[in-house]
Amino acid sequence: RLKLDFDYCQTTIGLVKKIEGATWSRSMKAWHVPDKAASINCIKELFEAHTLNFESNIKKQNVVGKEQLDGNIEIDEYIRQYITWMKYRRYSQSTIDTNSEVVRTFLKFNLPKKANEIGPDDMVRFVNEYILKKGLSFSYQNQVVNGSKLFFREIIKTSFSVEKFERPRREHKLPNVLSKEEVAKILQALPNKKHATMLSLIYACGLRRNELINLKPLNVDSKRHLLIVLNAKGYKDRIIPISDKVIGMLRNYYKEFQPKVWLFEGQNAGEKYSETSLQKVLKQALKTSNINKPVTLHWLRHSYATHLLESGVDLRYIQELLGHKSSKTTEIYTHVSEKSLQKIKSPFDDLK
């Protein structure tokens, strides 16, 4: 929200009250309004009409003068154009949300500089004074750089090479993997058949959480023993073989819950099951099974891939099953396969 600082004045207070969502804070002893374009436009119109000085009368926390208010409006327009362009290019909604949010943050940080005045040095400053100061992750920095490259190249048509916005050095983290025994404990800790079926299917097919949530009954081809995943990451379709055990589990679930539109629905018929609710299901299962690890839904996907590799499935098939674009992404599982590591003999063992 925007905090409005000004000397006591009945006229000013009367104007502020006209802004939708304006609220008086006793703790801050100040008025504040929603931090959105509509509020900023309203402030601008009201205060310009009464010849009040933006720079001295209105500010957001530290300093938001007239110049910065104008900058916020300009940013909103740029972000609107950016979102329109990404939709036209058929970017996924999650990418649109991420890119628009990180670019908005970057542009606001650089106010009162205009977007066409921003350069590579401003990215370095943003990383040092915002990302590192707040302890934000490598992946967040990557998102800012990737989103900004696209924005400045396609929307601003900047004169400098966007390649000067450099990504951080790549992290080399190994995927987190559960043992088969731990996976079994988690799945057995779920008395609710829907909950158990959802987590079981993620592990049985190596699904991403949004892939599970977007499944429809017609995506299950029981005759051919296939699960058909449509419009997955990168708008790719893929097919995953499913066993008699999985088909039997899905049939039992279907008979009890009779989903209408989505394979897994929320409390209301025809409503997609939410990612938040799915995460809560896992959290409860971990608590019940006494597994004290920071397990996420993606750990089940990692475990699926690693356990396939350990059972002798070729890496190329695993790449196809997971829907990886590059084989390099899949190769990381070779580093966490217990059976591969256990074959290695330490030179220490040869010492007498």
Q: Which of 3, 164, 225, 233 is catalytic?
A: 233
Q: Is 130 known to be catalytic?
A: no
Cβ pair 212, 190 in contact under 8 A: no
Q: Is 304 known to be catalytic?
A: no
Dist. CA 220–CA 273, nearest whole Å: 17
Q: In what order do the strands lie in the sheet with 220-221?
A: 220-221, 226-229, 238-241
Q: Is 301 known to be catalytic?
A: yes
Between the two ends of the chain, the Cα-to-Cα distance in Å is 71
Dist. CA 103–CA 148, nearest whole Å: 6
Q: Is 307 known to be catalytic?
A: no
Q: Is 324 known to be catalytic?
A: yes
Q: Which of 1, 44, 194, 298 is catalytic?
A: 298
Q: Is 167 known to be catalytic?
A: no
Backbone angles phi, psi at 112, to 5 degrees: -85, 10
Beta-carbon contacts of 277 under 8 Å, excluding residues fewer than 6 positions away, are: 266
Query: Within the chain, how many helices (H) and strands (E) appear?
Result: 16, 6
Q: Which of 208, 216, 238, 272 is catalytic?
A: 208
E strand intervals along the chain: 2-4, 23-25, 30-33, 220-221, 226-229, 238-241
User: Which tokens go with 294?
Assistant: 């920071």
Cβ pair 269, 252 in contact under 8 A: no
Backbone angles phi, psi at 51, to 5 degrees: 50, 40
The per-residue DSSP string of 27-83 comes to TTTEEEE-SSHHHHHHHHHHHHHTT--HHHH--STT---HHHHHHHHHHHHHHHHHH
Q: Which of 32, 301, 302, 307 is catalytic?
A: 301
- What are the b/e assignments for 220-250, b being 16+ CB within 10 Å? beeeeeebebeebbeeeebebebeeebbebb
Q: Which residue has the tokens 């356990």?
A: 307
Catalytic site residues?
Answer: 208, 233, 298, 301, 324, 333
